[in-house]
Structure 1
Amino acid sequence: MKEFAVADLTRKTGDLFEAATISPVAITKHRKPRYVIMSMERYESLTHGQEIRRAFRLNNDEADKLS
């Protein structure tokens, strides 16, 4: 997998997006892979076009803050 540093997001945007059209690209922070950028077509093939949903449980204090 090709890798780009976080700093490259602004300096090499075109190269990054071009690479992501071919295959997923890892974005590194402090030389460790942290994020992945991929084409929408690749993402949809991985998720079968379905939205990924996640559920979170709030404790009472957190729920009170939202009210």
Structure 2
Amino acid sequence: MQKFSTVELLRDIKTVTMAADRQPVAITQHRRARYVLMTYDEFEAMKSRGDPRRVYGANEAPQELVDLIMPELDRLIEEGREADG
């Protein structure tokens, strides 16, 4: 990802926005990346994809997820017991 400082953004917005047309760019402040500049279309596409990750509390997880996780947890617990002797 290309980086530009906030000073570079203020001095040469055309160069920075042209770079953002090609791919998102990081805008740095005090040498740390603080912002991302991207095209609006790219932002909308990113928003529409959403984040499929979800957090579940105890007893909230769907059964198919429980069926995937429980055997592995049981295996790890048993492995830990064997290691303890």
Give the TM-score of the pair, scaled to structure 2: 0.55
- Of Structure 1 and Structure 2, the greater strand share is in 1
Q: How big is each residue's C-alpha offset from its partner over 1:1-60, in whole Å with a ceiling of 9 and x where there is no partner? A: 00000101221100000000110010001111000000011101100189xxxxxxxxxx
Give the TM-score of the pair, scaled to structure 1: 0.69
Counterparts of 1:1-67 in structure 2, within 5 Å, are 1-48=1-48
Q: Which is bigger in relative contact order (C-alpha 8 A, separation at least 6)? A: 1
* Amino acid of the structure 1 residue aligned with 2:19: A
Aligned mates of 1:43, 1:17 — CA distance in 2: 14
Larger Rg: 2
Instruction: Count how many residue pairs are aligned between Structure 1 and Structure 2.
Output: 50
Instruction: Give the ranges of 4+ consecutive aligned residues of structure 1 lying more than 4 Å apart after TM superposition.
Output: none
Instruction: Give the superposed CA RMSD.
Output: 1.7
For structure 2, list consecutive stretches of 5 or more residues without a partner in the other structure.
Answer: 51-85
